[in-house]
Amino acid sequence: MRLIAIKMDLQTRKLHFIESILSVGSEEIIEKLEALLEKEQRKENNQRVSIDQYNQEIEEANSRIESGEFTSQDDVKKESESWLK
């Protein structure tokens, strides 16, 4: 699919991306896409996050960790080892 995307103009790629997003049924995936887009737009505009935003992101990360919503380094290592088999 990446080879096809390279040949399309930017506007066409955007439209295909929007169509893909519309088919997403997971709120978690949408939240991740929103966070990624916001982060990349800040970088593009050379904007740093505010102290409040930074603190909010830390609080959200801590909440996810406390509720068990994380992957340990050992689990990632085990998973990545299976990629090489």
Q: pLDDT by residue (tens digit) across 24-59?
A: 999 999 999 998 998 888 888 777 778 998 899 899
In a domain, 55, yes or no: yes
Number of structural domains, the chain?
Answer: 1
In a domain, 9, yes or no: yes
In a domain, 25, yes or no: yes
Residue 49 contacts residue 42 (beta carbons within 8 Å): yes
Mean pLDDT (whole number) for 66-78: 90
In a domain, 73, yes or no: no
Provide the pLDDT for residue 2: 53
In a domain, 75, yes or no: no
In a domain, 82, yes or no: no
Provide the pLDDT for residue 5: 47
Provide the pLDDT for residue 20: 92
In a domain, 23, yes or no: yes
Query: What whole-number distance in Å separates Cα of residue 42 and Cα of residue 37?
Result: 9
Please determine, for residue 6, whether its predicted confidence score (pLDDT) is greater than 70: no
In a domain, 19, yes or no: yes
State the residue range of the domain holding 45.
2-68
Which CA distances in Å does 48 have to 32, 45, 51?
A: 19, 9, 9
| pTM (2 d.p.) | 0.45
Query: What whole-number distance in Å separates Cα of residue 68 and Cα of residue 13?
Result: 36
